[in-house]
Chains A and B, each alone.
Chain A
Amino acid sequence: MGALLLLLCAALWGIERGRREKTALRIIAELVNFIEYTREQISNFRTPLLRIYSEYCCEARELEDFFSALRRNDTENAVGLLSERIPKSAYREASLFFSSLGGGYSEGQESLCIAAKARLERIGEEMRESLGEKLRMYRLLPLLLAASLVILLI
């Protein structure tokens, strides 16, 4: 019974890790979409940030609280919410982007959007490439470890 529980826990841990990776990917993809939307709004209409935040239609459920915080003009807290959900490199990019957003004229802001989008896309691409491998590892490695432990204990 103990052995079964150990194996089950290991399998669940692996599944959870895999789920987090997929969520991080979805969040990064949504951030990329948002950055592109922001760039278009700034470039074509000079739309103020608060209106951009309130009019943007977020498709990722995982970012609902993030956009709610942005709409309250609470950028610091909004970006803080991302810290546990995306890899450190992506979080650094997002922090840099949101802290600089709104602080310059349109040309500078467009460049900021283009650069941030490119960097996040690259991070997302790298994550996507290694996702299959990681998912296999998250499924197998904990199970193998748990099985080894069970054998050792028996």
Chain B
Amino acid sequence: MENGNIYFEECAISYLPHNLGETVRKSSSLLRGSLREIRLREGSSLGLTAGNKNVITSHRCTKEDIDYTVRALCGNSLYSHSETIKEGYICTDGGIRAGVCGRAVTEGQRIVSVTDIKSISIRIPHRIPGASDEICKLIMDPRFRGMIIYSLPGGGKTTALRETVARMGSKPYNLRISVIDTRFEICGGLGGDFTVDALSGYPRAQGMEIALRTMSPQLLVCDEIGRRDDASAVADCFGAGVPTLVSAHAGSYEELSKKPYIKELLEMGAFTFAVGLVIKPRGFDLEVTDLLKQKN
């Protein structure tokens, strides 16, 4: 699977100008297969993140580098990514997501467009087969009604969801899984033949409602919930008897259980397990909280 990761790295490098791509290849030659992020900031050095290590290269990024990269990430069609750029990211067809920021043009509280992009953070998706074994076992527990996975940003939530979806959506499980892939991150890097229905780009709450009504899923997966309507959609799924696998930002279970809308879901019993994650080079460290036991 290291080859798979190198494939994603090469995909990410292909969006960079030639000289920048070469710099990344040279700088990351010892870190191949573990590259997580490529960061470009106008006027600053090109940065790489491999594992948990940040590497600064000698290449100083210019405005031309940034413009070229943005255009390449958009497939030379900036207009077709305007909505996601407003939300701070660009997703490519290959499942690579890049965070972007620049100067926002606003009308009241609404961002109308983003111009003068100054920073790009290209996140490279990873496959860690077997990393979701523990999570799959929990999902197959007869008491399972739902699971919430939490970690700090960059802690591996999306990777865990992707691996779990790949595992549960293939033999021997073959569950009918609906994935609300709002930011095109989960299914983009999935590939292969899976029993997965991807609702790509749908707002979370709306996507969950549609999946629930039309796709009759056995497992509904959604990344990074946290808003009121997300929580009420998860509650609807719980009410309809469809188990959910969701993720949220939190450093610990305590922190998670204090989040306003998630607290309500925990109290309601929408989740059987809360799983804290720390990503490792070959998998995850899991901190499992059995919420049913805790309740009893």
Contacts and interface: CB of A to CB of B under 8 A. Distances in A.
B65 to A, nearest CB: 15
B82 A102 contact: no
A104 interface: yes
B113 A102 contact: no
Interface string B220-250: 0000000000000000000000000000000
B115 to A, nearest CB: 9
Contacts of A109: 79
A10 B77 CA distance: 49
B80 A103 contact: no
Interface centre among A42, A103, A104 (most CB of B within 10 A): A103
B78 A46 contact: no
Interface string A31-69: 000000000001000111110000000000000000000
A83 interface: no
B134 to A, nearest CB: 39
Interface stretch (B3-11, B68-76, B280-288): B68-76
A104 B78 contact: yes
A109 B78 CA distance: 10
B128 to A, nearest CB: 31
Interface string A95-111: 00000011111101100
B79 A105 contact: yes
A148 interface: no
Contacts of A50: 75-77
Contacts of B76: 48-50, 73, 75, 101-103
Nearest to A110: B79
Given A102-B71, A103-B71, A105-B113, A49 B82 contact: no
Contacts of B74: 48, 102
A106 B79 CA distance: 5
Contacts of B71: 102-103
Interface in A83-103: 101-103
29 contacts: A42-B79, A46-B77, A46-B79, A47-B77, A48-B75, A48-B76, A48-B77, A48-B80, A49-B76, A49-B77, A50-B75, A50-B76, A50-B77, A73-B76, A75-B76, A102-B71, A102-B74, A102-B76, A102-B78, A102-B79, A104-B78, A104-B79, A105-B78, A105-B79, A105-B82, A105-B113, A106-B79, A106-B82, A109-B79
Given A47-B77, A102-B78, 8 more contacts: A46-B79, A46-B80, A46-B82, A75-B76, A102-B76, A104-B79, A106-B79, A108-B79
A108 B79 CA distance: 9
Interface in B40-93: 71, 74-80, 82
A73 B113 CA distance: 26
B80 to A, nearest CB: 4
B114 to A, nearest CB: 9
Contacts of A106: 79, 82
Nearest to B115: A105
A11 to B, nearest CB: 47
A47 B77 CA distance: 8
Q: Which of B77, B79, B113 has the most CB of A within 10 A?
A: B79
Contacts of B75: 48-50
Contacts of A42: 79
Contacts of B79: 42, 46, 102, 104-106, 108-109
